[in-house]
Amino acid sequence: MKCVVCGKNSERSLCVDCYLKKNRIVEIEDVEVTVCPRCGMFRVSGKWKSVDLLEAVSSEVEKKLRVHPDFKVERVELKVGEKGELLLGGSFWNKDVEEFLEFEIKLKKVLCEKCSREAGGYYECIVQLRADRELEKSEIDEVNRIVLETIEKAKEDTKAFISKVVERREGIDYYIGGRNIGRKISKSIVEKFGGKITESKKIAGRKDGRDIYRFTYSVRLPAYRKGDIVSSENKIVVVTNPKLKKGLTLPELKNVNLKDARVVVRRENIEEGIIVNCDKYGMEVMRLSTGEVVTVERIKELKVGDRVKIFEVEKKHYAFPEKL
């Protein structure tokens, strides 16, 4: 058989070259992608996703591209700029071919569900940060980091956002879009600092005949911190790990688990001293701030000249090594 146009031998009425001159084996329509103007996420396959423009356009190209069934595509190159550029390489009727296409990219701006909820002040739970003491700046900074990191990891979750943060005299309240995100944040705080979580809920309204609840996760940090002095089971103990409830008894320096621990001296009220004399039963320690010398029970591990921490409980002085 010969090609009816050029007369070359061909298996069809048109040879591959003449067919390609008269016909397009790939076609594409203009592509429209939906983007949230607030957070920059794109709607891909019906879902809001944290992807770049190239990936969002690629998803739509798959829907808009029409390819001749005899074109065996082996290579695809997509570029996005002011316009989209698509290069397809492969074989058509046993001939190596490349097809280049340009297409318009239209951006449709729509506020995503997440941003819409956030802008409207929506929240399903409150994470309350509390402690039976003043919260430290370092603790608040770390909790803020945990909150932001948890939300960032779940950024495609339509409820992963903070509606507002309220500083109160008793602590800080984080208003969180989704209950599950709030629960994760609460657990992460306790994993970091120790403490306990108390969960409660109240009715916030009704929808489709069902009660809608708002949840509160009250996260209470331990009353004591590392370096605080507590009374536990009639022992004076320096706290070494508040998360695991661990400490060292004084003067024995014995590891113990804290039970019903009560703070007797805050770490910021502990003074520095130096041992000036020792005998079998006691040590004389000089306060570096005043030069006053006080007597404490002997700690075997210490000797004259060692620096220590000293404090007083019920008119009795205690000391422990400067570095535990």
Q: Could you tell me the two tokens for 167?
A: 């500083």
Looking at residue 7, its pLDDT comes to: 80
How would residue 198 be classed by pLDDT, with cut points 50, 70 and 90?
Answer: very high
Looking at residue 5, its pLDDT comes to: 82
Q: Could you tell me the two tokens for 221?
A: 């940090």
- CA pair distance 183, 187, nearest whole angstrom: 6
Model-level pTM greater than 0.85? Answer: no
Residues 6+ apart with CB under 8 A from 186: 127, 197, 217, 219
- What is the number of other CB atoms lying within 10 angstroms of the CB of residue 101? 16
Q: Give the strand pairing for 125-131 and 105-109.
A: unpaired
How would residue 112 be classed by pLDDT, with cut points 50, 70 and 90?
Answer: very high
For residue 231, is pLDDT > 90?
A: yes
Q: What is the DSSP string of 79-119?
A: EESSSEEEEEEEEETTEEEEEEEEE-EEEEE---HHHHHHH
Give me the mean pLDDT over the 234-253 stretch.
95
Give me the mean pLDDT over the 50-72 stretch.
93
Give me the mean pLDDT over the 10-24 stretch.
88
How would residue 32 be classed by pLDDT, with cut points 50, 70 and 90?
Answer: very high
For 179, the 3-state DSSP assignment is: helix
Q: Could you tell me the two tokens for 232?
A: 């536990």
Pick from 255, 206, 250, 252: nearest CA to 231: 250
- CA pair distance 273, 304, nearest whole angstrom: 11
List pLDDT tens digits, range 135-162: 999 999 999 999 999 999 998 899 999 9
H-helix segments, the chain: 16-22, 53-64, 113-119, 137-153, 179-193
- β-bridge mates for residue 295, sequence order: 284
Top-level class of domain 229-321 = mainly beta
- CA pair distance 121, 178, nearest whole angstrom: 12
Report domain extents, the chain: 16-109, 113-221, 229-321
Given a contact cutoff of 8 angstroms between Cβ atoms, the answer to whether 310 and 294 are in contact is yes
- CA pair distance 238, 252, nearest whole angstrom: 11
Q: Could you tell me the two tokens for 282?
A: 């006691």
Q: Could you tell me the two tokens for 290?
A: 């005043």
What is the chain's mean pLDDT, rounded?
Answer: 93
